[in-house]
Structure 1
């Protein structure tokens, strides 16, 4: 889907420096990502969302 999308945004719980993640753990390769957004703490209304 990332290859067909006009824009790809990644939401991440933890932002790591380059090389801080094993290549096998990446689901969407970096060349397809346009923006990275760090997730903040979720409010109680989102308690059903499991991370």
Structure 2
């Protein structure tokens, strides 16, 4: 019996950021994503708030 995993974790690593995607193997669609860049973007958007 062959057991295959439905989801796969794909990591993209650059010098500055890491991005992780959970991909459904059956459809090829991204189910979830997260990135270390999100924290930097959120901080830069909040800087202009009063």
Is TM-score (shorter-chain normalized) higher than 0.5?
Answer: no
Structure with the greater relative contact order (CA < 8 A, sep ≥ 6): 1 or 2? 1
Which structure has the bigger radius of gyration? Answer: 2
Coarse TM-score class (shorter-chain normalised):
under 0.3
TM-score, with length taken from structure 2: 0.19
